Amino acid sequence: MKTLCVLGSTGSIGVSTLDIVRRFPDRYRVRSLTAGANVEKLAEQVAEFKPARVAIADKTKFNAVKERLKDYKGELLAGADALCELAAEPESNYVVSAIVGAAGLMPTLSALKQGKQVGIANKEPLVMCGPLMQAAAEKSGATILPIDSEHSAVFQSARAGNRGEMRKIVLTASGGPFRKADKEFMRTATREQALKHPTWNMGAKITIDSATLMNKALEIIEAHFLFGLPYEAIEVWVHPQSIVHALVEFSDSSVVAQLGLPDMRLPILYALTYPDRVDGGLPALPIEKMAALNFEPPDHDRFPSLKFAYKAGKLGGTAPAVLNAANEVAVQLFLDGKIHFSEIFDRVGATLDAHEVKPMDRLETVLAADAWARTYAAKQGVK
């Protein structure tokens, strides 16, 4: 029996995780749920899954949660520290990391320090300080299981060979809503246009990241940290059907890929049941869906994000954390209607250029770089 702590249970990944849990009452029990600020969704989930402990990160929502959950017999907590406490407590042995952005770093790290199994969808902390998270896992005996679909695909494909036999990783990208848009259209694209993802249904931040290809940029760094291949051996190809999630080329030139419908419940299920495969009643991939599978090289001129990722990745140290923080700020400014779409690229690029890279020796160094990048990227007139 796995006892779960779901960090970010009210989001897109959180909801899909609970959909899997619901299918296996004998395998999984929900020990704790955490949300950012969504009181209503959290209350519905508490009523259904009856966790012993619940936390909401936004303290201003605490009274609303208490009011909404008057009859709840478990423990209600509020604040960012409460999330770390629930992630770390020994009563759960599996943590699903599904908070969006850097806010997930401390709770995820808390779980890793306690030697738990941790299914990670929340890629931003891995980008910020993957090596520190891995070191924490190694020290405690924790296991990191990738949930991001491309990384789950690499993880699954990697089982076809031995350690050290992977020569190249190809991450696929849907191309997002602006795959065919011209540069001028993209410059002033609206929030609504950018939020219209062609194949995946996800939270707002990652949907914008898919429109800029920054999601794939973050995934390049995530793959480097998770699988240890050099940046030269990690490629991105645009694959509009989102059926082939990643391909792995082995040392004998054989290529193994993982395919499936674009449904995050598949990688979530695998992260939960690994190393087994279990029938979760999810829809199978109809073969006719593969009548045409296309792969195109990404357009680096319209989507400079990938260049930023290779630059930050090769610089190493605090550079990936800066890339991530600048992007989080720029995406929020765009979602708030304060900057044009293409200014996301301008701000991220300018912040990366202005950063003095430091070695990623300690968490404090990473957090300082993150804070610096947030201030820099938020400044008016950054181009």
Given the rule CB under 5 A, which residues bind Mg ion? Answer: 148-150
Query: HEC profile for the chain?
Result: CEEEEEECCCCHHHHHHHHHHHHCCCCEEEEEEEECCCHHHHHHHHHHHCCCEEEECCHHHHHHHHHHCCCCCCEEEECHHHHHHHHHCCCCCEEEECCCCHHHHHHHHHHHHCCCEEEECCHHHHHHHHHHHHHHHHHHCCEEEECCHHHHHHHHHHCCCCCCCEEEEEEEECCCCCCCCCHHHHHCCCHHHHCCCCCCCCCHHHHHHHHHCHHHHHHHHHHHHHHCCCHHHEEEEECCCCCEEEEEEECCCCEEEEECCCCCHHHHHHHHHCCCCCCCCCCCCCHHHHCCCCCECCCCCCCCHHHHHHHHHHHCCCHHHHHHHHHHHHHHHHHCCCCCCCHHHHHHHHHHHHCCCCCCCCHHHHHHHHHHHHHHHHCCCCC
Q: Are 202 and 12 in contact (CB under 8 A)?
A: yes
Q: How far apart are CA 353 and CA 372, in angstroms?
A: 13
Q: Work out whether 11 is an interface residue with ligand NAD (CB under 6 A).
A: yes
Site for ligand NAD in 124-183 (CB under 6 A): 124, 148-149
Q: How far is the CB of 77 from ligand NAD (least distance, A)?
A: 12
Q: How far is the CB of 120 from ligand NAD (least distance, A)?
A: 8
Q: How far is the CB of 127 from ligand NAD (least distance, A)?
A: 10
User: How many residues are there in the chain?
Assistant: 383
Query: Which structure tokens are listed for 210?
Result: 């898919």
Out of 123, 197, 224, 239, the only residue in the binding site for ligand NAD (CB under 6 A) is: 123
Q: Are 19 and 107 in contact (CB under 8 A)?
A: no
Stretch that binds ligand NAD, among 11-19, 67-75, 251-259, 316-324 (CB under 6 A): 11-19
| Amino acid, single-letter form, for residue 373 | A
Q: Work out whether 200 is an interface residue with ligand NAD (CB under 6 A).
A: yes
Select from ligand NAD, Mg ion, none the partner in contact with residue 11, using the beta carbon and a kind-dependent cut-off of 5 to 8 Å.
ligand NAD
Select from Mg ion, ligand NAD, none the partner in contact with residue 35, using the beta carbon and a kind-dependent cut-off of 5 to 8 Å.
ligand NAD
Q: Work out whether 13 is an interface residue with ligand NAD (CB under 6 A).
A: yes
For ligand NAD, the closer CB: 143 or 199: 199
Q: Are 370 and 352 in contact (CB under 8 A)?
A: no
For ligand NAD, the closer CB: 64 or 354: 64
State the greatest distance between any 2 C-alpha atoms of the chain, in Å, as a whole number: 61
For ligand NAD, the closer CB: 13 or 211: 13
Out of 38, 241, 242, 305, the only residue in the binding site for ligand NAD (CB under 6 A) is: 38
Q: How far is the CB of 150 from ligand NAD (least distance, A)?
A: 8
For ligand NAD, the closer CB: 8 or 260: 8
For ligand NAD, the closer CB: 206 or 330: 206
Q: How far is the CB of 15 from Mg ion (least distance, A)?
A: 17
Q: For ligand NAD, what does the binding mask look like between residues 237 and 266, x meaning CB under 6 A?
A: ---------------------------x--
Stretch that binds ligand NAD, among 8-16, 282-290, 331-339, 359-367 (CB under 6 A): 8-16
Q: How far is the CB of 150 from Mg ion (least distance, A)?
A: 5
| Amino acid, single-letter form, for residue 112 | L
Q: How far is the CB of 148 from Mg ion (least distance, A)?
A: 4
Site for ligand NAD in 82-121 (CB under 6 A): 83, 98-100, 103, 121
Q: Work out whether 309 is an interface residue with ligand NAD (CB under 6 A).
A: no
Q: How far is the CB of 117 from ligand NAD (least distance, A)?
A: 17
**Positions in the binding site for ligand NAD (CB under 6 A):** 8-14, 35-38, 57, 83, 98-100, 103, 121-124, 148-149, 200, 202-203, 205-206, 264
